[in-house]
Amino acid sequence: MKIVLLVVLVHCIFSAGALECDSVSIACANKDKCIPQRYICDNDNDCNDASDEEADLCSAWRSSECSTNQVKCTRNGNTECVPISTYCTSGDSPCEGDFDQRVCKILENGVLEKLADVILVDTIDVSNLNKSNQLAKTFLSLTPHTLRHESCPSMYTLVGDQCLSIFHIGSMSWGEAREFCGIIGGDLITFRNISHFSSVIQHLQQFELTSDFWIGGRLENATEGWIWVNDNAPMEMGSPYWATKFSSSCVERNVTAAESEKTCYHYYQAPKAQPKGLCVSLSFEQFFYMSDDDCVKNMSPLCVYHDEQQTIFR
């Protein structure tokens, strides 16, 4: 008797696992029975688990522009209502429309499930994974020139006679950038002279960095003007430090010649009397010349190790 019961139980288990529905039917989520596809979202719980009336599924299934179990399909320039099964299986001349492809995936699998649980794996852009891996390789190749050097502490590389942290993958406001530099033992970089400025810019260009960077300059007030944050020393204005920018309107020049006063100049040198922002950046677009920018704009921090204005870490 026990053997008979065991055989019956095994038969039931395998029968349940082997549930197959015909081409116009679909299995309920618990796979206890098949129902005709036309019963899906007909406001009647045909499945014992009510999976045929799942709210999100029905929202996608029903169309206000077509008859029951139909959806709009555009092919070869013509738009018409077709059965949902036709929309999902028209391979040679596929339908175009806004119908939720997750419903088609459910029909393809032959088993009802919650719409939110359906993942369209074939729609994931694999090229983005490849691109991400390539970006990782590029980042790693730049590390010895941006974040690592045997003569500098962790997160710093050697540029000239200074240890700099060129955190080109970072994106933060000026205030956050300065705090970041402080956390890793430094501060936003300040430039001592044109030679120092040039060596840093040449390094950024040599290794083809395309980020915009925050540096340690800001507008203190109308009286003191633009200052370096490390010692409050005034920043030198004009060439060769500051970027030249385009203006659609005429820009006045500080000239006295009559002919010059009549000329319409469309370029000006940052910073303007009414600055674009109160913090100083090195912009890739401006070839890493200094520019005034909005302090909450997201850029990468360019840090110098503390006391690196004089010596390097050895």
Domain range annotation of the chain: 19-117, 129-247+267-305
Give SS3 for 46.
coil
For the domain spanning 129-247+267-305, the CATH number is 3.10.100.10
pLDDT digit string (tens) for 113-123? 999 999 887 65
Q: What is the C-alpha to C-alpha distance for residues 162 and 196, in angstroms, rounded to an integer?
A: 10
pLDDT digit string (tens) for 149-197? 999 999 999 999 999 999 999 999 999 999 999 999 999 999 989 999 9
Q: What is the C-alpha to C-alpha distance for residues 226 and 212, in angstroms, rounded to an integer?
A: 20
User: Among 133-142, 164-173, 260-269, which is the least confidently predicted range?
Assistant: 260-269
pLDDT value at residue 257: 52
Give SS3 for 111.
strand
pLDDT value at residue 123: 57
Q: What is the C-alpha to C-alpha distance for residues 271 and 236, in angstroms, rounded to an integer?
A: 11
pLDDT value at residue 259: 53
pLDDT value at residue 267: 77
Tokens of 148: 């690592």
Q: How large is the average pLDDT for residues 210-226?
A: 93
Alpha helix stretches (DSSP H) within 147-220? 174-183, 194-206
pLDDT value at residue 210: 95
pLDDT value at residue 165: 98
AA identity, residue 8? V
pLDDT digit string (tens) for 67-101? 999 999 998 889 999 999 999 988 777 888 889 99
- Are 269 and 242 a contacting pair, CB within 8 Å? yes
